Amino acid sequence: MGLESDVNALTSEVSGTYLGPGVDHWICKLSGDGIFSVSSLRQFIDKLQVSIPGTSEILWSWVVPIKVLCFIWRAVQGRIPSAVALEKRGTLVNSLWCSSCIGMNECADHILIDCPFATQIRNNILSWYGVRSDQSSIKSIGDFLHFTATWGNCNSKRERFTAISYGLLWNLRRFRNKHLFRMEGTLVRQGTERIKSMVFYWLKHMGKNVICNWEEWLVSPFSGL
């Protein structure tokens, strides 16, 4: 009852379908060559989300682990498990306050950009770059990705700058989880050093180019470029 029109539509569709000769095969309509790739699917989703700034500015660099890139992609859309996001999905959370500063609600932008802890580490990293940034222009993850994507004129430096920026965001989430779930705090200096060492490891083991040594890296992330 009530399904007659659906059944008729299905019958009509099936009756107009004929099996051709040969072996069955799949064709992906998202890509020009008919072969499915994750990037073609991601680009399709990004096109549907034109209202979310930042997704199109992510550099899908092979130097950065794919799990980190996927995290950045979800974070700029506010789709990481913050207290605010979990509450919106109907999960019972003890408090919406940020567990680090206990001063504001914990959303993705707060964890990675707004929180004083995040701001201090970002300032440390930016001063290591030797980059003077107008922090007032960075209010959201999308702003930070735009800042990263449009920084400087040298592609090699911008690629390295991008890897460090993504390492910064990835680690801020890790520090937050460590604090929340294991009750282990991270000092600003300790967190900054952790980001430097992790990105150095990425570049050394996943990059195509030879990277400077550790001592040079600590002086400037652009050593050797």
Which residues would be at the binding site for Zn ion (CB under 5 A)? 98, 100-101, 115
Specify the residue, 64 or 112, whose C-beta has the smaller distance to Zn ion.
112
| Min dist. Cβ of residue 107 to Zn ion (A) | 10
Nearer to Zn ion, 34 or 103 (CB): 103
Distance CA 181, CA 169 (A): 18
115/203 with CB nearer Zn ion: 115
95-104 as b/e: b if 16+ CB within 10 A? eeebbbeeeb
Give least dist CB 124 to Zn ion, A.
17
SS3 call for 68: helix
CA angle 7, 9, 14 (to 5 degrees): 90
Q: What is the DSSP letter of 135?
A: G
C-alpha closest to that of 196 among 180, 178, 212, 177: 212
Residue number, 7 or 102, with CB nearest to Zn ion: 102
CA distance linking residue 195 with residue 129, whole number of Å: 13
Q: Minimal distance in Å, beta carbon 191 to Zn ion?
A: 14
Spatial separation of the C-alpha atoms in residues 144 and 146, rounded to whole Å: 5
Least CB distance to Zn ion at residue 111 (A): 7
- Please say which residue, 42 or 178, places its beta carbon nearer to Zn ion: 178
In the bound complex, what is the minimum distance in angstroms from residue 28's beta carbon to Zn ion?
Answer: 43
CB 61 within 8 A of CB 160: no
